[in-house]
């Protein structure tokens, strides 16, 4: 019988990615009866993935999971390898030689495209890059966004679209004491945006917003929500959705819209226009976006299966700034199969499959790179538990040959990379918190990898 998973022969696991999905896999493994050693590998010197770089700076409560991850990282069975890119500094094949199990938890780093003419005109950006920019993600610090425009359009009606909308709509005073970067705050302070159109391709009963987030658009300091009453007339299928318990959130969101409609305008400096049944079909402009062409849609299909179909009727909106916020996409990892259509790694019960559909022994995926970009932070917890169940179920069939784990990884990386340990990260963390103190901010993030490494001895 295999003794893999005992203190004599602990299960050596490498987790690629340090966002919520990676940390919940580590937690679930550590809570199991199996003796494990975990190496978590992260491309950036800073851990926590979308909790650090995706969660909006004005939603600090969502970051309260960080102390939980911090406790996991303090476990003697856990080691952190920051500033290491899998596929560049170390290959998946090398990891599979060094560890019994490799878990890919790399999230969804890219975004879906609209696939329309003019999509790449200056003035048209992705929510991903804007969110990364204001949250201090090193990949996006050289981007500049044309906030000298008066009219902005956001395509998509999910929670990311709401985050982008709020950051554009809020006053500097509403953001000043958050962990938004100083650079982003300075640029937003000079923003000339007055009108923000938050545009959905389907109707007011099909928004993907969380109601709490949506309601917040009604309590901004200097921005009024605007709703066209004609937009709130629902077709019978949408009415059926709202009277079903699966439509509970949509029903509350509709109540929020009705509340916006009932309130008188306060004459605020900015307005958010909630727009429905419109799909962008072309972005126009010579050297810069100046008009968005929409096609009006109607809904087709039964309750909960309604999709947007173009009616042929078009309208144009003069706008010089557009963010598409229509969903994230995973990116491939060299040496691992990838489904380009869905932007995920193909799996069977979290076990990665190869191009022929066969399970690759010892290789697993979890979180958004496995199931696609859906759900909130906590959704990754049961997902990770399911991943770990598959790992533990496979223990008897895993190759029990020598897997030196950390020792092998450290040897591979020596000379290739300045590895950032968890202790190193704690030094960076402390330095960021100190930088934020004088401004009354929870932290002032370092936005460049070199700055982070500069803190370390």
The helix/strand/coil state of 236 is helix
Q: How many whole angstroms separate alpha carbon 268 and alpha carbon 170?
A: 11
| Distances from the Cα of 378 to the Cα of 26, 63, 252, 286, 339, angstroms | 15, 12, 21, 44, 25
Identified binder of ligand NAP from the candidate list 93, 172, 318, 376, rule CB under 6 A: 376
Least distance between ligand NAP and beta carbon 240 (Å): 17
Residues within window 113-132 making contact with ligand NAP, judged by CB under 6 A: 114
Give CA torsion, residues 257, 259, 264, 268, to 10 deg. -60
State which residue, 45 or 158, has the beta carbon closest to ligand NAP. 158
| Distances from the Cα of 171 to the Cα of 10, 49, 189, 191, 222, angstroms | 53, 27, 8, 10, 7
Laid out side by side, the sheet with 195-199 consists of 124-126, 321-324, 151-155, 195-199, 270-275, 223-227
State which residue, 62 or 433, has the beta carbon closest to ligand NAP. 62
163 is an interface residue for ligand NAP by CB under 6 A: yes
Asked if 15 and 40 touch (Cβ cutoff 8 Å), the reply is yes
Asked if 104 and 352 touch (Cβ cutoff 8 Å), the reply is yes
**Size of site (CB under 6 A) for ligand NAP:** 27
State which residue, 12 or 128, has the beta carbon closest to ligand NAP. 128
158 is an interface residue for ligand NAP by CB under 6 A: yes
210 is an interface residue for ligand NAP by CB under 6 A: yes
Asked if 126 and 170 touch (Cβ cutoff 8 Å), the reply is no
- Give me the phi and psi of 37, to 5 degrees please: -125, 130
Asked if 369 and 328 touch (Cβ cutoff 8 Å), the reply is no
DSSP per position, 273-327: EEE-SEEEEEEE-SSS--EEEEEEEEEESSTT--EEEEEEEEEEEE-SEEEE-S-
445 is an interface residue for ligand NAP by CB under 6 A: no
178 is an interface residue for ligand NAP by CB under 6 A: no
State which residue, 52 or 208, has the beta carbon closest to ligand NAP. 208
Least distance between ligand NAP and beta carbon 108 (Å): 8
State which residue, 83 or 380, has the beta carbon closest to ligand NAP. 380
3 is an interface residue for ligand NAP by CB under 6 A: no
The H helix count followed by the E strand count for the chain is 16, 18
Can you give 328-345 as a three-state secondary structure string?
Answer: EECCCCCCCCCECCCCEC
Stretch that binds ligand NAP, among 200-208, 220-228, 261-269, 408-416 (CB under 6 A): 200-208
Residues within window 231-250 making contact with ligand NAP, judged by CB under 6 A: none
Least distance between ligand NAP and beta carbon 37 (Å): 32
State which residue, 31 or 212, has the beta carbon closest to ligand NAP. 212
| Token pair recorded at residue 90 | 């170390």
326 is an interface residue for ligand NAP by CB under 6 A: yes
Q: How many whole angstroms separate alpha carbon 387 and alpha carbon 164?
A: 32
Identified binder of ligand NAP from the candidate list 79, 178, 238, 325, rule CB under 6 A: 325
| Distances from the Cα of 55 to the Cα of 11, 23, 61, 62, 108, angstroms | 33, 16, 10, 7, 14
10 is an interface residue for ligand NAP by CB under 6 A: no
Q: How many whole angstroms separate alpha carbon 296 and alpha carbon 358?
A: 44
State which residue, 26 or 50, has the beta carbon closest to ligand NAP. 50
Burial, 186: exposed, middle or buried (Cβ in 10 Å; 0-12, 13-18, 19+)? exposed
Stretch that binds ligand NAP, among 10-18, 85-93, 199-207, 334-342 (CB under 6 A): 199-207
157 is an interface residue for ligand NAP by CB under 6 A: yes
375 is an interface residue for ligand NAP by CB under 6 A: yes
Stretch that binds ligand NAP, among 152-160, 219-227, 343-351, 426-434 (CB under 6 A): 152-160
Least distance between ligand NAP and beta carbon 41 (Å): 23
Least distance between ligand NAP and beta carbon 71 (Å): 22
Binding string, residues 58-97; x marks residues near ligand NAP by CB under 6 A: -x--x-----------------------------------
Identified binder of ligand NAP from the candidate list 327, 343, 367, 436, rule CB under 6 A: 327
Identified binder of ligand NAP from the candidate list 125, 328, 422, 446, rule CB under 6 A: 328
Q: How many whole angstroms separate alpha carbon 336 and alpha carbon 102?
A: 11
Positive or negative torsion for Cα 123, 126, 129, 134: positive
Q: How many whole angstroms separate alpha carbon 355 and alpha carbon 336?
A: 9
* Residue labelled with tokens 């330095």: 431
Least distance between ligand NAP and beta carbon 2 (Å): 39
Identified binder of ligand NAP from the candidate list 152, 161, 205, 292, rule CB under 6 A: 161
Least distance between ligand NAP and beta carbon 47 (Å): 19
200 is an interface residue for ligand NAP by CB under 6 A: yes
* Residue labelled with tokens 């990116």: 331
136 is an interface residue for ligand NAP by CB under 6 A: no
Q: Which residues bind ligand NAP (CB under 6 A)?
A: 59, 62, 114, 155-161, 163, 200-202, 206, 208, 210, 213, 279, 325-328, 373-376
């Amino acid at each position: 019988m295999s003794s893999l998973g005992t203190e004599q022969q602990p299960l050596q696991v490498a987790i690629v990615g340090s966002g919520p999905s990676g940390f919940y896999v580590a937690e679930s493994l550590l809570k199991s009866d199996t003796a494990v050693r975990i190496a978590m590998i992260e491309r950036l010197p800073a851990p926590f993935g979308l909790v650090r770089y995706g969660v909006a700076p004005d939603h600090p409560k969502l970051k309260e999971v960080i102390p939980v991850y911090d406790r996991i990282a303090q476990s003697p069975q856990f080691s952190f390898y920051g500033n290491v890119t899998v596929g560049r500094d170390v290959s998946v094949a090398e990891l599979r030689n060094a560890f019994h199990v490799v878990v890919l938890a790399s999230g969804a780093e890219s975004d879906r495209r609209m696939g329309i003419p003019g999509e790449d005109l200056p003035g048209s950006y992705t929510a991903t890059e804007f969110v990364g920019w204001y949250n201090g993600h090193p990949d996006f610090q050289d981007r500049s966004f044309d906030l000298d425009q008066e009219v902005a359009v956001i395509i998509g009606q999910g929670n990311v679209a709401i985050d982008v909308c709020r950051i554009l709509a809020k006053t500097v005073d509403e953001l000043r004491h958050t962990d938004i970067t100083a650079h982003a705050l300075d640029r937003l302070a000079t923003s000339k945006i007055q009108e923000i159109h938050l545009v959905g391709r389907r109707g007011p009963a099909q928004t993907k917003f969380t109601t709490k987030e949506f309601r917040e658009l009604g309590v901004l300091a200097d921005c009024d929500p605007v709703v066209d009453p004609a937009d709130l007339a629902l077709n019978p299928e949408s009415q059926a959705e709202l009277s079903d318990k699966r439509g509970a959130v949509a029903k509350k969101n509709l109540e929020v819209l009705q509340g916006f409609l009932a309130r008188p305008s306060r004459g605020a400096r900015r307005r958010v226009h909630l727009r429905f049944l419109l799909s962008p079909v072309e972005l126009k402009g010579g050297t810069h976006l100046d008009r968005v062409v929409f096609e009006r849609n109607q809904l087709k299909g039964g309750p909960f299966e309604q999709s947007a179909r173009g009616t042929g009727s078009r309208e144009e909106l003069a706008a010089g700034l557009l963010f598409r916020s229509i969903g994230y996409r995973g990116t491939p990892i060299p040496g691992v199969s990838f489904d380009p259509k869905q932007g995920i790694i193909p799996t069977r019960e979290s076990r990665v499959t190869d191009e022929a559909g066969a399970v690759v022994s010892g290789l697993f995926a979890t979180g958004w790179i496995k199931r696609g970009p859906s759900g909130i932070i906590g959704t990754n917890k049961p997902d990770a538990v399911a991943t770990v169940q598959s790992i533990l179920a496979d223990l008897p069939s895993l190759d029990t040959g020598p897997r030196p784990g950390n020792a092998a990884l450290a040897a591979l990386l020596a000379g290739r990379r300045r590895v950032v340990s968890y202790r190193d990260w704690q030094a960076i963390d402390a330095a960021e918190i100190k930088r934020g103190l004088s401004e009354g901010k929870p932290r002032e993030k370092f936005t460049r990898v070199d700055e982070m490494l500069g803190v370390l001895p």
